[in-house]
Amino acid sequence: MRLLSHDDLIKILPLNKTAIDRLVSLGKIPYKRITTENVDIIRFSPEIINSWVKSGTNLMDDKKYLERLKNRLEKCNPEFIEELKKFSAKFVDPREPKRYYLEPVKNKKLGFVYYVKYLHNGVLLRTKWTTGTNDKELAIKFAIENRERLLNEYFGRGEKPSIDIYYVLKNYYAKDSQYLDIDIKRGRSIKEKHRIFCYNFINRSFIPYLKKNGVKTVEDITTPFLAKFQNYLLTNKKGVKPMTVNIRISHISMIFNRLLLDGLISVNPCKSLVSIKSKKGDKKITGCYDIEKLKGVFNKRWGNDFYYLLNLLIYSTNLRNCEIENININDFVLIDNFHFLNVPDSKTPNGIRTVPIHDFVYKKLIDYAKKNNKTDYILKPKAKIIQSTDYKKAAIELAKHLGFTEDYMKKENITFYSGRHFWKTLTDAEGLGDIGEIFMGHKVSTDVSKIYNHKDKIGRAKKLEKVKHLFEILDKYIFI
């Protein structure tokens, strides 16, 4: 009986050569391996192929076999299988980009059909093609199989990519954004908290404004249009100051920069936009308490341990809010009998540093961690961030212990952040004006003498001497 080659099999079965090779490699089709002139070739027996086709072997579905194997393995060593589950839970598979988007569109005959839009160079094209079906699985198959053909036809006509600006705006600051991923690789730095803020601003303020004003394409967003948006923020958004408006426009500008670099627009309309100048009195200086006022306030019993610790930390360490909430019990180190806190992640590169922690403060933190069964982040709520309202309540709590009212706080513009101003005022008054540049992540000014004064070269003994001096000041003015 003559054996069949690949070409023979192609003539009698609806298979191509690649599909046949795949079936062979998976052991899904019966075959013979024959050696001719020291070369192995694959051949197929007509009789066996006939039996194979009659049996109707399921080529793709090993579900029953895999299910049986799964059950056997779980019975074999359930403890080890459970360990594997815990280990696997620590990891997340990389997200595979779809590179297409299905949009249901009304259809008289079928009720609706799916149209497909394609992502090209990270941007969703406005042009869409019908898949001719309302079956999602078939629509997905159409989108994947026809992508190359449809895009080649589209660009072959000399068409320029038409941008779905709402898709770009909505997704630029989204979690796992492909746009941000590219910009981060190019050197942009953005913290998760800031990303969330930008995402909310774009989706809750900018996009609704665009839709209200009938914007349909990216060409509608011009410099004069953005100037009107500036005015809208100033007049319609309560409490928004000129500096804040300028910052929020910069969030929009980053999106247009990405489109510009991708060659999808020729100009960034934000670049020629005139920034709003702050008027005198727009920026109110943050106030702080007199350095004599805090004596003994942290030796008293407070009703709320959480608010107590928030205030204790900012007034004794000068840490930023975001650094306070990220204090991890594993980040403390002991150097020559002094406790320090490593700050591995901060608002700025300058903020990555080691901060002196007074023994009084260290003990309070450790006691709080033990009391609340904290083994990692001491103050941060589980999987959340400390809310701005908590910092506000903490500031009010301190004011009450000092005998001040909320009206007084408003008049003097005293906030939770005033703790940093107090700390700097106190250390300056006691002759430690440069300690902020050594330990606290303050950016050195552009003064020529300071540019050439390398604070990082100060010796260990000198630094520890300054830490000792700092703790003596805290004992004198805060912990009596």
What's the pTM? 0.51
The model's pLDDT over 176-231, given as tens digits with 9 standing for 90+, comes to 787 788 888 788 778 887 889 899 999 999 999 999 999 988 889 999 999 999 99
| Other C-beta atoms lying within 10 Å of the C-beta of residue 396 | 17
Q: What is the mean pLDDT of the chain?
A: 82
Residue spans of the domains in the chain: they are 6-55, 100-162, 189-261, 297-477
More confident residue, 402 or 22: 402
Q: What is the pLDDT of residue 443?
A: 45
Domain 297-477 has CATH 1.10.443.10: yes
> CA dist 213 to 167, 208, 219, 229, 233, Å?
17, 9, 14, 10, 14
The model's pLDDT over 101-153, given as tens digits with 9 standing for 90+, comes to 899 999 888 899 999 998 877 677 878 889 989 999 999 988 988 888 888 77
Report the distance separating Cα 184 and Cα 399, nearest Å: 42
Residue 101, C-beta contacts closer than 8 angstroms, at least 6 positions apart: 116, 117, 118, 119, 124, 167
**437 pLDDT more than 70:** no
Residue 168, C-beta contacts closer than 8 angstroms, at least 6 positions apart: 123, 124, 179, 255, 258, 259
User: What is the helix, strand, coil percentage profile of the chain, to 5?
Assistant: 50, 10, 35
Burial of 431 (0-12, 13-18, 19+ CB in 10 A): exposed
Q: With beta carbons less than 8 A apart as the criterion, state whether 478 and 425 touch.
A: no
Q: With beta carbons less than 8 A apart as the criterion, state whether 117 and 103 touch.
A: yes
Report the distance separating Cα 450 and Cα 470, nearest Å: 21
The model's pLDDT over 201-215, given as tens digits with 9 standing for 90+, comes to 999 999 999 999 999
Q: With beta carbons less than 8 A apart as the criterion, state whether 29 and 52 touch.
A: yes
With vertex at residue 119, the alpha carbon angle to CA 118 and CA 125, rounded to the nearest 5 degrees, is 70
Least confident of 247-251, 351-355, 377-381, 433-437: 433-437
Q: What is the pLDDT of residue 112?
A: 93
Report the distance separating Cα 356 and Cα 341, nearest Å: 6
Report the distance separating Cα 160 and Cα 150, nearest Å: 14
Locate 344 and state its tokens. Answer: 């591995």
Report the distance separating Cα 169 and Cα 199, nearest Å: 9
The percent of residues in the chain predicted with pLDDT above 70, rounded, is: 84
Q: With beta carbons less than 8 A apart as the criterion, state whether 385 and 196 touch.
A: no
**397 pLDDT more than 90:** yes
More confident residue, 436 or 454: 436
- Closest to 265 (Cα-Cα) out of 304, 217, 224: 217
Determine the longest span between alpha carbons in the chain, in angstroms. 106
> CA dist 119 to 127, 151, 257, Å?
10, 10, 18
